[in-house]
Amino acid sequence: MSDSDDSGTDFDWRDVVHYPGIDEVPRGQEDAFIRSARAELQTRYRTDIESLKETFPTEFGSIKAVQDPDTVNETLQDIIMAFPESVRDTIKIPASVIEYLFLTGDTEATASADFGLPIVTNEPHPEVPGYLKIELDYDECSDELDTYPLYIKLVQQRGKASKKKATDDSLGRLFLGTKTGLKPTNCDFEEFISKWARFMCEDFVEADAVGAAVVEFLHAI
């Protein structure tokens, strides 16, 4: 992808989406696999969203899905164009990220809310190519979040040891920024959203200190 693609007229989110496991699907069964994967992701996200709405009706009561899937084209193109040109052709957006954007993309922030949904930014890691920042939206602990930023890996690396397994498992995995570098977490984006929703509905509501609770959550994922 070159800088001449800025207009976005030829950009299609379907060209950059990655469904884990699609490489092992027999020829001719890809469409059925994708439909099943999308349904599973949407069901899981809707369950998480409903939990958030029930627990925090004021803050999360206005979560809205996009009406036209192609409206995410501009968002995804902005993400890819934010990366150095040398890695743009290797960027893949996990299906879990795209389905999240589909189900939350028209959400309007509540003016009085002190926190909101995690944000898929267009901010690459400043030093490590291929990692994109996932921003947590809390008014009370911005310093803590600056200390421990969260990133998702979007570069698809080819494996060398096994011909059968051509890609590594870290595509789509979340990493926590620390003073010594990027620390891998135990979850991908889909798992992270579910863990975060559970954290908000269970631990966050009981927390005395927002910053400490959020940092503890980040180090536990």
| Alpha-carbon separation of residue 215 from 142, 153, 191, 207, 211 (angstroms) | 11, 20, 17, 12, 6
Q: Are 172 and 20 in contact (CB under 8 A)?
A: yes
CA–chain centroid gap for 145, Å, is 16
Q: How does residue 207 score in pLDDT terms, banded at 50, 70 and 90?
A: confident
pTM for this one? 0.86
Confidence of residue 165 (pLDDT cuts 50, 70, 90): very low
What tens digit of pLDDT does each residue of 45-88 get?
999 999 999 999 888 878 888 888 888 899 999 999 999 988 88
Whether the Cβ atoms of residue 42 and residue 69 lie closer than 8 Å to each other: no
Per-residue model confidence as pLDDT tens digits over 9-21: 578 888 899 998 8
Tokens 């995690």 belong to residue: 118
Token representation of residue 121: 């930014």
Distance (Å, whole) CA 4 – CA 153:
25
